[in-house]
Protein backbone atom coordinates (compact mmCIF):
# COMPACT_ATOMS: atom_id res chain seq x y z
CA UNK A 1 0.00 0.00 0.00
CA UNK A 2 0.91 3.64 -0.27
CA UNK A 3 2.85 5.33 2.51
CA UNK A 4 1.95 8.57 4.23
CA UNK A 5 4.46 10.02 6.63
CA UNK A 6 3.60 12.52 9.31
CA UNK A 7 6.14 14.56 11.24
CA UNK A 8 6.65 15.01 14.09
CA UNK A 9 5.11 12.04 15.88
CA UNK A 10 4.77 14.06 19.04
CA UNK A 11 5.42 17.63 20.07
CA UNK A 12 5.19 19.62 23.27
CA UNK A 13 4.91 23.38 22.99
CA UNK A 14 4.28 26.34 25.22
CA UNK A 15 0.95 28.08 25.22
CA UNK A 16 0.90 30.93 22.71
CA UNK A 17 3.43 29.44 20.31
CA UNK A 18 2.76 27.92 16.91
CA UNK A 19 3.39 24.37 15.79
CA UNK A 20 3.71 23.01 12.26
CA UNK A 21 2.87 19.41 11.38
CA UNK A 22 3.89 17.94 8.04
CA UNK A 23 2.14 15.27 6.04
CA UNK A 24 3.89 13.67 3.09
CA UNK A 25 2.80 11.04 0.62
CA UNK A 26 6.03 9.16 0.00
CA UNK A 27 5.34 7.05 -3.04
CA UNK A 28 2.32 8.56 -4.72
CA UNK A 29 0.86 11.90 -5.66
CA UNK A 30 -2.08 12.93 -3.55
CA UNK A 31 -4.41 15.46 -5.06
CA UNK A 32 -6.38 15.60 -1.85
CA UNK A 33 -5.21 15.48 1.74
CA UNK A 34 -7.33 15.48 4.85
CA UNK A 35 -6.62 16.59 8.39
CA UNK A 36 -8.37 14.93 11.31
CA UNK A 37 -8.38 15.49 15.03
CA UNK A 38 -8.95 12.69 17.48
CA UNK A 39 -9.93 13.20 21.09
CA UNK A 40 -9.51 10.38 23.61
CA UNK A 41 -12.17 7.71 23.16
CA UNK A 42 -13.69 9.69 20.32
CA UNK A 43 -13.86 9.27 16.60
CA UNK A 44 -11.61 10.97 14.11
CA UNK A 45 -13.18 14.33 13.34
CA UNK A 46 -12.47 15.82 9.95
CA UNK A 47 -11.03 19.30 10.29
CA UNK A 48 -10.34 20.25 6.71
CA UNK A 49 -9.77 19.02 3.20
CA UNK A 50 -6.94 20.42 1.15
CA UNK A 51 -6.36 20.21 -2.55
CA UNK A 52 -2.99 20.97 -4.04
CA UNK A 53 -2.68 24.56 -5.10
CA UNK A 54 -5.98 25.76 -3.68
CA UNK A 55 -7.35 26.92 -0.35
CA UNK A 56 -8.39 24.31 2.16
CA UNK A 57 -12.03 23.63 2.85
CA UNK A 58 -12.71 23.70 6.56
CA UNK A 59 -15.43 21.83 8.38
CA UNK A 60 -18.00 23.76 10.36
CA UNK A 61 -16.66 24.87 13.69
CA UNK A 62 -12.99 24.67 12.74
CA UNK A 63 -11.21 28.03 12.93
CA UNK A 64 -9.32 28.55 9.69
CA UNK A 65 -7.17 31.30 11.18
CA UNK A 66 -6.08 29.02 13.97
CA UNK A 67 -5.47 25.89 11.95
CA UNK A 68 -3.58 27.01 8.86
CA UNK A 69 -3.33 24.43 6.11
CA UNK A 70 -0.99 24.66 3.17
CA UNK A 71 -0.91 22.10 0.38
CA UNK A 72 2.03 23.35 -1.62
CA UNK A 73 2.71 20.24 -3.68
CA UNK A 74 1.16 16.91 -4.60
CA UNK A 75 3.16 15.22 -1.87
CA UNK A 76 3.13 17.68 1.00
CA UNK A 77 0.50 19.31 3.17
CA UNK A 78 1.17 21.17 6.41
CA UNK A 79 -1.04 22.02 9.35
CA UNK A 80 0.04 24.92 11.54
CA UNK A 81 -1.64 25.34 14.88
CA UNK A 82 -1.22 29.03 15.61
CA UNK A 83 -1.15 30.52 19.10
CA UNK A 84 -1.71 27.09 20.59
CA UNK A 85 -3.56 26.70 23.87
CA UNK A 86 -3.97 23.69 26.15
CA UNK A 87 -7.39 22.94 24.66
CA UNK A 88 -5.67 22.37 21.31
CA UNK A 89 -3.84 19.41 22.80
CA UNK A 90 -4.97 16.43 20.79
CA UNK A 91 -3.97 13.76 18.31
CA UNK A 92 -3.83 15.10 14.76
CA UNK A 93 -3.91 12.69 11.83
CA UNK A 94 -3.53 13.36 8.14
CA UNK A 95 -4.59 11.21 5.25
CA UNK A 96 -3.88 11.38 1.56
CA UNK A 97 -6.17 10.09 -1.10
CA UNK A 98 -4.95 8.07 -4.03
CA UNK A 99 -7.61 8.07 -6.66
CA UNK A 100 -11.18 8.87 -5.77
CA UNK A 101 -11.98 6.64 -2.87
CA UNK A 102 -9.12 5.07 -0.94
CA UNK A 103 -7.24 7.10 1.64
CA UNK A 104 -3.96 6.31 3.39
CA UNK A 105 -3.18 7.61 6.82
CA UNK A 106 -0.17 9.05 8.54
CA UNK A 107 0.85 7.78 11.96
CA UNK A 108 -0.52 10.84 13.70
CA UNK A 109 0.99 13.65 15.78
CA UNK A 110 0.39 13.94 19.50
CA UNK A 111 0.33 17.65 20.37
CA UNK A 112 0.59 18.70 23.99
CA UNK A 113 0.34 22.38 24.83
CA UNK A 114 1.60 23.34 28.26
CA UNK B 1 -25.72 14.41 7.70
CA UNK B 2 -23.98 11.10 7.54
CA UNK B 3 -23.01 9.36 10.74
CA UNK B 4 -21.43 6.07 11.68
CA UNK B 5 -22.27 4.19 14.83
CA UNK B 6 -20.09 1.52 16.38
CA UNK B 7 -21.93 -0.30 19.11
CA UNK B 8 -19.14 -1.48 21.33
CA UNK B 9 -16.53 0.76 22.87
CA UNK B 10 -14.36 -2.03 24.27
CA UNK B 11 -14.48 -5.75 23.52
CA UNK B 12 -12.42 -8.28 25.46
CA UNK B 13 -11.98 -11.79 24.06
CA UNK B 14 -9.83 -14.81 24.65
CA UNK B 15 -7.69 -16.17 21.86
CA UNK B 16 -9.58 -18.38 19.40
CA UNK B 17 -12.90 -16.73 20.22
CA UNK B 18 -15.01 -15.42 17.36
CA UNK B 19 -15.34 -11.72 16.80
CA UNK B 20 -18.12 -9.55 15.49
CA UNK B 21 -17.96 -5.76 15.69
CA UNK B 22 -21.07 -3.84 14.80
CA UNK B 23 -21.21 -0.84 12.49
CA UNK B 24 -24.26 1.06 11.28
CA UNK B 25 -24.37 4.13 9.10
CA UNK B 26 -27.06 6.69 8.48
CA UNK B 27 -26.69 7.73 4.84
CA UNK B 28 -29.46 6.54 2.55
CA UNK B 29 -27.68 6.76 -0.79
CA UNK B 30 -24.91 4.75 -2.35
CA UNK B 31 -21.99 4.35 0.01
CA UNK B 32 -18.47 3.04 0.14
CA UNK B 33 -17.68 1.29 3.41
CA UNK B 34 -14.38 0.70 5.15
CA UNK B 35 -12.89 -0.90 8.20
CA UNK B 36 -9.60 0.46 9.46
CA UNK B 37 -7.40 -0.94 12.21
CA UNK B 38 -4.98 0.96 14.42
CA UNK B 39 -2.45 -1.17 16.25
CA UNK B 40 -0.89 0.36 19.37
CA UNK B 41 1.52 3.09 18.35
CA UNK B 42 0.86 2.68 14.65
CA UNK B 43 -1.11 4.48 11.99
CA UNK B 44 -4.50 3.55 10.67
CA UNK B 45 -4.43 0.71 8.17
CA UNK B 46 -7.14 -0.42 5.81
CA UNK B 47 -8.53 -3.86 6.69
CA UNK B 48 -11.13 -4.10 3.98
CA UNK B 49 -13.50 -2.06 1.87
CA UNK B 50 -16.77 -2.38 0.06
CA UNK B 51 -17.62 -0.42 -3.05
CA UNK B 52 -20.06 -2.67 -4.92
CA UNK B 53 -20.71 -6.28 -5.88
CA UNK B 54 -20.54 -9.19 -3.45
CA UNK B 55 -21.72 -7.85 -0.09
CA UNK B 56 -19.42 -10.25 1.75
CA UNK B 57 -15.99 -8.70 1.64
CA UNK B 58 -12.81 -10.46 2.65
CA UNK B 59 -9.90 -8.43 3.93
CA UNK B 60 -6.45 -8.97 5.29
CA UNK B 61 -5.54 -11.13 8.28
CA UNK B 62 -8.65 -13.27 8.07
CA UNK B 63 -11.15 -10.47 8.58
CA UNK B 64 -14.36 -10.20 6.64
CA UNK B 65 -17.36 -7.89 6.67
CA UNK B 66 -20.87 -8.15 5.36
CA UNK B 67 -22.78 -5.24 3.89
CA UNK B 68 -26.49 -5.53 4.62
CA UNK B 69 -28.13 -2.65 2.84
CA UNK B 70 -31.55 -3.11 4.44
CA UNK B 71 -29.99 -2.79 7.88
CA UNK B 72 -27.49 -0.05 6.95
CA UNK B 73 -24.88 -2.28 8.52
CA UNK B 74 -21.32 -3.35 7.77
CA UNK B 75 -20.28 -5.63 10.62
CA UNK B 76 -16.72 -6.89 10.90
CA UNK B 77 -16.08 -10.56 11.69
CA UNK B 78 -13.24 -12.94 12.33
CA UNK B 79 -13.81 -16.62 13.19
CA UNK B 80 -10.86 -16.97 15.53
CA UNK B 81 -8.98 -13.99 16.99
CA UNK B 82 -5.34 -13.92 17.96
CA UNK B 83 -3.50 -11.91 20.56
CA UNK B 84 -1.98 -9.88 17.73
CA UNK B 85 -5.45 -8.63 16.78
CA UNK B 86 -5.43 -6.41 19.85
CA UNK B 87 -6.03 -2.97 18.36
CA UNK B 88 -8.64 -0.31 17.79
CA UNK B 89 -11.03 -0.81 14.90
CA UNK B 90 -12.78 2.00 13.05
CA UNK B 91 -15.66 1.74 10.65
CA UNK B 92 -15.92 4.51 8.05
CA UNK B 93 -18.20 5.50 5.23
CA UNK B 94 -18.01 7.78 2.27
CA UNK B 95 -20.57 8.56 -0.35
CA UNK B 96 -20.28 6.19 -3.27
CA UNK B 97 -21.26 6.41 -6.89
CA UNK B 98 -18.11 8.24 -7.93
CA UNK B 99 -18.51 11.01 -5.42
CA UNK B 100 -15.35 12.24 -3.75
CA UNK B 101 -16.96 12.45 -0.37
CA UNK B 102 -14.87 12.46 2.72
CA UNK B 103 -14.56 9.60 5.18
CA UNK B 104 -16.88 9.72 8.15
CA UNK B 105 -15.62 7.60 11.01
CA UNK B 106 -17.27 5.81 13.87
CA UNK B 107 -15.89 6.27 17.37
CA UNK B 108 -13.93 3.08 17.22
CA UNK B 109 -13.98 -0.20 19.09
CA UNK B 110 -11.04 -1.24 21.17
CA UNK B 111 -10.38 -4.97 20.99
CA UNK B 112 -8.31 -6.64 23.68
CA UNK B 113 -7.43 -10.29 23.11
CA UNK B 114 -6.21 -12.26 26.10
CA UNK B 115 -3.49 -14.83 25.35
The most confident of the ranges A98-112, B51-65, B101-115 is B51-65
Per-residue pLDDT at A81: 97
Q: How many CB pairs under 8 A join A and B?
A: 49
User: How many whole angstroms separate alpha carbon A106 and alpha carbon B79?
Assistant: 29
**What is the distance between the alpha carbons of residues B46 and A78, in angstroms, rounded to a whole number?**
23
The reported pLDDT for the residue numbered B57 is: 96
| CA–CA dist A38, B69 (Å, integer) | 29
Q: For an interface test with B, which of A103, A106, A108, A109 has the most B Cβ atoms less than 10 Å from its Cβ?
A: A103
Cβ B49–A102 below 8 Å, yes or no?
Answer: yes
- Say what the pLDDT of residue A11 is: 97
* Per-residue pLDDT at B50: 92
pLDDT score of B95 more than 80: no
DSSP state of A40: T
Conformation bin of residue B26: beta by default, left when phi > 0, alpha when psi is -120 to 50: alpha
pLDDT of B98 reads 54
Closest CA of chain A from B43, distance in Å: 4
Question: CB contact, 8 Å: A101 with chain B?
Answer: yes
For residue B101, what pLDDT is reported? 60
Q: From CA B115, how far away is CA B77, in angstroms rounded?
A: 19
Per-residue pLDDT tens for A66-111? Answer: 999 998 888 999 999 999 999 999 999 999 987 666 788 999 999 9
Q: Report the candidate in A71, A74, A79, A17 with the shortest Cα–Cα distance to residue A47.
A: A79
Which residues in chain A are closer than 8 Å to B32, comparing Cβ atoms?
Answer: 101
Rounded to the nearest integer, the mean pLDDT of chain B is 90
Q: What is the pLDDT of residues B29-48, one digit of tens each?
A: 888 899 999 998 788 888 99
- Give the distance from residue A46's alpha carbon to the nearest chain B alpha carbon, in angstroms: 8
| Residues A44-66: tens digit of each pLDDT | 888 999 888 788 999 999 999 99
Q: Is the pLDDT of residue B99 over 60?
A: no
Amino acid sequence: GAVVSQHPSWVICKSGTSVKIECRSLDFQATTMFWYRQFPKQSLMLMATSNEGSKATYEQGVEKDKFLINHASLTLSTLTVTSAHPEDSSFYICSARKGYTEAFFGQGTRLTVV
Amino acid sequence: AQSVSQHNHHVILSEAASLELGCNYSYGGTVNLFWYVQYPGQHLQLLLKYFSGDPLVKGIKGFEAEFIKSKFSFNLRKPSVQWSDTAEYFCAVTKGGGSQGNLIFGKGTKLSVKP
